[in-house]
Structure 1
Amino acid sequence: MTFTQLRILLAVARTGNMTRAAEELNTTQSAVSHALRGLESELGLSLLVRGSHGVSLTAAGRAVRRRATLILTQLEALEQEVAAARGADTGSLRVGVIPSANARLLPRILRLYGEAHPRVRLTVIEGSDGEVLDWLRTGAADVGTLTAGAVPADVAGLVTRPLATDRMLAVLPGGHALAERASVPVAELARHPFIMSTGGCEPLITALARAAGASLRCHYRVRDTGSILAMVAEGLGVTVVPELSLPAHHPGVHAVPLEPASERTILLALPADPLPAATAFAELAGVLGTS
């Protein structure tokens, strides 16, 4: 059994696809398949179920993945600590991010971290709050961003700190009757066709509507913010999005604060025993996120 085989298993488990895993690891699909067959042969177990829609882990595969995650996390920590003792700054760091934080909050942090730690290999994985939380739990990500309400109160082994606050905004087609208002109540939005974001903000938006005693007329349910804004620009409906998820220029739409004002908190999350590279990232992000 080799570390390479374990890394390949984790990549395949994360992507659910051997081709994507090979691309992520900068190798070939045949090398991925060969490594996994060798691991299964050595263990005497089937680790994967191969189907027309990709691959998934068997029960034994999930058990091996948990142990492989622990092994590789400890190996990475050892390598980084040894490098630090030598005065070097090497290793890898996997950052799990929610889309809104990745759009405008993280790029500057990533750039400055890369400049300060040029020999650390940075990998960014974008996903919903639930996906990022799962990646942190399983070791697929070493540090991540989460929405405050997305972290269960009983989650263990995770340390979080506030990174930024983010206003929730009503987004309307240009020329809409509500677009010239200084602020818009959620109850007013409920009178128009609504485009619901399914990228992670749906629970917060639903809670805002419930607090206003309103029922949103969800005509569309869309994950990608760019697609949502394009649909709003075409007059297909209105929506509510976090300010951080809006691009610097969004022609055809108008963003207005909600009434009453609503904010969400973006958290930086990392394991209780983080990698040195993750600690350095968190320290830098904490300074920049509040500046």
Structure 2
Amino acid sequence: MIPRNGDMVDLSSALHIRHIRYVVAAAELGSFRRAAIHLNVPESAISRRISDLEAWLGTKIFIRSAAGVRLTFAGEKFVLRCRYLLTEIRHAQSEIQAVRQGMWGMLTIGVISSLASSTLSALLRDFAERHPKIHTTYVEATAEAHLFQAGGLTLDVAFVSEGRLPHEVSSQCLWHERLFAVLPEAHPRAKDSNINIGALADETFLLNDSARGRSTSQYLHRRLGALGCRPNIRYQDVDQESLPLLVALGHGITLAFEPATIARMPGVALRPIAEPRLIHAIWSEENDNPALPLFLKLAKSVQE
């Protein structure tokens, strides 16, 4: 139904993009005929649709004459908005195309240990160099939280250590990560070339209640539990960097995944654990983020 003059109308159900293109082409070319040729449509279609649009708006957009058409004052205001709308649509099309092709986008990555892990940091750096317009954000949490988040699509991909992985997510083991025992310098095993985790079963492990601390706790319970032992863990209300200082004071030992900074600390010794930690990538097959297959392809190449 055509509204009465002066009525305010919601044009969203009646206005199509092609109508906007008709108006802009006619305004720029000064003629319905030239606009029809430019758009490769019948002149009658342009004239009819613009007349319908003027009826819906309740005002004239064009002044018609034998020489062609020119915009009314209201038409100039309307065409200004139409040009802006067409520009935004073109931008949206370009962005969607770029996202679909993996040229632009966002990727949320879950980690359970420091990004200083050499393999992980190399992977992230390589991905950033290959896809500079895909922006990455990082979330540090426990493996259980990452499993939930990946299944719920709030994470695109996460890296977790070995353990029971549910069927709701896809996973692939990608690499082994070395662990290091952080011992007091006077510890009986401070001179060993490497240490079996079972040899530390009677030790007191110092951890904090962070994502890394809880991940380390899970590792100890799995590995020592398989040997019939229960780890003695004391949680400390300190940050990760302070744990080696407590080790140096003789309060216990801890485990580390990034030995570079700890190696320079006085009073402690670093010795590799013989059993490495297995690192898996997890993701949901329902995740349609176009950046995800690009990242997974690169991540899987790490093990090749």
For 1:159-188, what per-residue CA distance to the aligned partner results, in whole angstroms no more than 9, with x for missing partners?
211221123432212232220123334454
Which amino acid is the alignment partner of residue 272 of structure 1? E
State TM-score, norm by structure 1: 0.60
Are residue 246 (structure 1) and residue 258 (structure 2) matched? yes
Aligned twin of 1:112: 126
Q: How far apart, CA to CA, are the structure 1 residues paired with 2:193 and 2:199?
A: 13
Q: How far apart, CA to CA, are the structure 1 residues paired with 2:181 and 2:200?
A: 8
Q: How far apart, CA to CA, are the structure 1 residues paired with 2:128 and 2:137?
A: 11
Residue correspondences, number: 204
How far 1:104 sits from its partner (Å)?
3.5
Q: How far apart, CA to CA, are the structure 2 residues paired with 1:80 and 1:229?
A: 48
Q: What is the root-mean-square deviation of aligned Cα atoms in Å? A: 3.0
Aligned twin of 1:170: 181
Q: How far apart, CA to CA, are the structure 1 residues paired with 2:298 and 2:117?
A: 18
Are residue 149 (structure 1) and residue 148 (structure 2) matched? no
Are residue 264 (structure 1) and residue 280 (structure 2) matched? no
For 1:44-87, what per-residue CA distance to the aligned partner results, in whole angstroms no more than 9, with x for missing partners?
xxxxxxxxxxxxxxxxxxxxxxxxxxxxxxxxxx99763256x6
How far 1:224 sits from its partner (Å)?
5.1
Aligned twin of 1:22: none
Query: SS of 2:175's equivalent?
Result: strand
Q: How far apart, CA to CA, are the structure 2 residues paired with 1:189 and 1:225?
A: 20
Aligned twin of 1:98: 112
For 1:110-151, what per-residue CA distance to the aligned partner results, in whole angstroms no more than 9, with x for missing partners?
222122112222111111111211221221111111122052
Are residue 202 (structure 1) and residue 217 (structure 2) matched? yes
- Of structures 1 and 2, the larger Rg is shown by 2
Which amino acid is the alignment partner of residue 277 of structure 1? A
Which amino acid is the alignment partner of residue 127 of structure 1? A
For 1:193-243, what per-residue CA distance to the aligned partner results, in whole angstroms no more than 9, with x for missing partners?
3324633121221233334444444343568542332322332211334xx
State TM-score, norm by structure 2: 0.58
Pair 196,126 (structure 1): closer, same or farther in 2 beyond 3 Å = closer
* Alignment partner of 2:245 out of 221, 225, 230: 230
Pair 173,231 (structure 1): closer, same or farther in 2 beyond 3 Å = same
Q: How far apart, CA to CA, are the structure 2 residues paired with 1:164 and 1:79?
A: 37
Q: Which residues in structure 2 correspond to 1:111-130 (within 5 Å)? A: 111-130=125-144
Which amino acid is the alignment partner of residue 185 of structure 2? G
Query: SS of 1:201's equivalent?
Result: helix
User: Given that residues 168 and 240 in structure 1 are in contact (C-alpha distance below 8 angstroms), is that contact kept between their aligned partners in structure 2?
Assistant: yes
Q: How far apart, CA to CA, are the structure 2 residues paired with 1:161 and 1:223?
A: 33
**Percent identical:** 26
User: Given that residues 93 and 278 in structure 1 are in contact (C-alpha distance below 8 angstroms), is that contact kept between their aligned partners in structure 2?
Assistant: yes
More strand by share: 1
Q: How far apart, CA to CA, are the structure 2 residues paired with 1:105 and 1:223?
A: 27
User: Given that residues 81 and 276 in structure 1 are in contact (C-alpha distance below 8 angstroms), is that contact kept between their aligned partners in structure 2?
Assistant: no
Structure 1: segments with no counterpart, 5+ residues: 1-77
User: Given that residues 102 and 134 in structure 2 are in contact (C-alpha distance below 8 angstroms), is that contact kept between their aligned partners in structure 1?
Assistant: no
Q: How far apart, CA to CA, are the structure 1 residues paired with 2:173 and 2:116?
A: 16
Pair 94,271 (structure 1): closer, same or farther in 2 beyond 3 Å = same
User: Given that residues 99 and 128 in structure 1 are in contact (C-alpha distance below 8 angstroms), is that contact kept between their aligned partners in structure 2?
Assistant: no
Which amino acid is the alignment partner of residue 182 of structure 1? S
Q: How far apart, CA to CA, are the structure 2 residues paired with 1:140 and 1:219?
A: 32
Structure 2: segments with no counterpart, 5+ residues: 1-92
Q: How far apart, CA to CA, are the structure 1 residues paired with 2:107 and 2:143?
A: 19
Pair 276,81 (structure 1): closer, same or farther in 2 beyond 3 Å = farther
* Alignment partner of 1:189 out of 185, 200, 204: 200
For 1:244-263, what per-residue CA distance to the aligned partner results, in whole angstroms no more than 9, with x for missing partners?
x22423123322234xx322
